[in-house]
Amino acid sequence: MKKIVKKHPLAIRWFHWVNFPVLAIMIWSGLLIYWANDVYKVGFGDKTLLKFFPDSFYKAFNIPFRLAEGMAYHFVFMWLFFINGFAYVLYTVISGEWRYLLPNRHSFKEAWQVLLHDLRIRKAKPPQGKYNAAQRVAYSAIIVMGIGSVITGLAIYKPVQLWWLCAICGGYAFARIIHFVLTIGYSLFFVIHIIQVILAGWNNFRAMITGFEVEKTKDDIPVVPSSLSEAVPVAQAVPVTQAGPDEEQPAN
């Protein structure tokens, strides 16, 4: 027996899919800007482990000598990025969706269990719900990161007029570092997000477009916690859904 269960409201699907290309354009145009002063690297002492970015990377994405163009795109699409993000936060607050998204007091412990489970270290599956604990932490963190990008971005954009904002960010040069690190964060988020979506499968992915998930239930088995199932007479259980005859079933 299958059952259609509403998962993502239309508004959230819009915000999600608008954000995807807009953030991509922000990261790309950000690279065009960063190239003009590409001083960041990871290493210790004189040893460089990772240079942001190798010339081959710049070449592959046609980055060099496009600073003016990068600034133009960045300072146009920043509005879409901001408005979409702001509307999303506003929506989650007003609709009550925030209840599924904000971590609660169990989340941080459970998020750890999700990680161990996903890495095949821990067998037991942590509670999923609409979003599991790791998702709650990740999806809330990404909003904090977004706010951080807007604040540090404004601090770099108008460091004299918004001098107080620049000061909060630890000065001009440090604000630029935070802004950059947050972008690396988005890129890592994106990679993990894609892997998780692939692992979670079609039903989960479809929900981000259609809004619903398909739940499989068995007709006669009551949906009750296993510890209670012996105590509850089977006959009292009511099937969760009623569905028409399965004639003319389209091939999936």
Partner 1 sequence: MANFFKNLFVRNSKLTTDQLIVKKTIISFFFFFLLSGAAFWGWKWLQGQSSDGAFGSGIKPPLRTVLNKNEKFFNNWLSDKHLAKAFPLSAAAKNVRVNGDLGLGNNFDPATWKLYVIKAKGDTLALTLDDIKKLPKTEIIFDFKCIEGWSQVTHWGGVKFSDFVKAYGLTAETSMKYLGLNTPDEEYYVGIDMPSAMHPQTLLCYEMNGQPLPMNQGYPLRLIIPVKYGIKSIKRIGTMYFDNERPPDYWAERGYDYFSGL
Residues that bind partner 1 (CB under 8 A): 1-4, 17, 21, 33-34, 36-37, 39, 67-69, 71-73, 75-76, 79, 157-163, 166-167, 171-173, 176, 206, 209-212, 214, 241, 243-250, 252
Residue found under tokens 């199932």:
229
Our CA dihedral for 200, 204, 208, 214, rounded to 10 degrees, sits at 180
Q: Smallest distance from the beta carbon of 31 to partner 1, in angstroms?
A: 12
Q: Smallest distance from the beta carbon of 100 to partner 1, in angstroms?
A: 21
Q: Which is nearer to partner 1, 94 or 209 (CB)?
A: 209
81: its two tokens: 């990025």
Q: Smallest distance from the beta carbon of 37 to partner 1, in angstroms?
A: 3
Q: Smallest distance from the beta carbon of 142 to partner 1, in angstroms?
A: 21
Q: Which amino acid is at 170?
A: G
Q: Which is nearer to partner 1, 74 or 136 (CB)?
A: 74
In the 8-state DSSP scheme, what is residue 87?
A: H
Q: Which is nearer to partner 1, 185 or 211 (CB)?
A: 211
Q: Which is nearer to partner 1, 134 or 156 (CB)?
A: 156
Q: Smallest distance from the beta carbon of 26 to partner 1, in angstroms?
A: 14
Q: Which is nearer to partner 1, 227 or 252 (CB)?
A: 252
Show Cβ contacts of residue 103 under 8 Å, excluding neighbours closer than 6 positions.
111, 133, 136, 137, 140
Q: Smallest distance from the beta carbon of 193 to partner 1, in angstroms?
A: 18
- Please, what is the Cα angle at 12 between 186 and 250, to 5 degrees? 110
Q: Which is nearer to partner 1, 57 or 163 (CB)?
A: 163
Q: Which is nearer to partner 1, 9 or 115 (CB)?
A: 9
Helix/strand/coil for 99: helix
151: its two tokens: 């604040």
Question: Could you tell me which of 185, 206, 40, 16 has the C-alpha nearest to residue 101?
Answer: 16
Show Cβ contacts of residue 152 under 8 Å, excluding neighbours closer than 6 positions.
169, 175, 176, 178, 179, 182
Q: Smallest distance from the beta carbon of 172 to partner 1, in angstroms?
A: 5
Q: What is the DSSP string of 146-207?
A: HHHHHHHHHHHHSTTTTHHHHHHTTSHHHHHHHHHHHHHHHHHHHHHHHHHHHHH-HHHHHH
